[in-house]
Amino acid sequence: MMAFPVVKCRDEKQHGDYRKKCVILEIYDEMKRAMETGEPYRTRLEPPPADPAVAHAPKMSAEV
C-alpha cells in the first residue's frame, strides 16, 4: 500500500523516478554511515531544523 500516490505520480512525471523516495533512502544511508563512523551527521535541509531564522515570533503574554 502506498501512502502518497499523488507524490509518486508527480515525481515520476517530473524526474522519471520516485525522487522523494530515493532522496529519503540516501539520507537514511548518510545517517547510518554517520552512526557507524562516529562522524556527525550534517543535514541537507536549508535552513536546518530549529533554525531561529524560521521560528515564529515570541507570543505576547496576556496582561491580567
pLDDT reported for residue 28: 95
Domain ranges for the chain, please list them: 1-37
Rounded Cα distance, 60 and 28, in Å: 39
SS (H, E, C) 8-40: HHHHHHHHCCCHHHHHHHHHHHHHHHHHHHCCC
pLDDT digits (tens, 9 = 90+) for 5-62: 888 899 899 989 998 889 999 999 999 999 999 999 999 988 988 899 888 888 887 7
Looking at per-residue pLDDT, the higher value among 33 and 63 belongs to 33
Rounded Cα distance, 46 and 52, in Å: 12
pTM above 0.75, yes or no: no
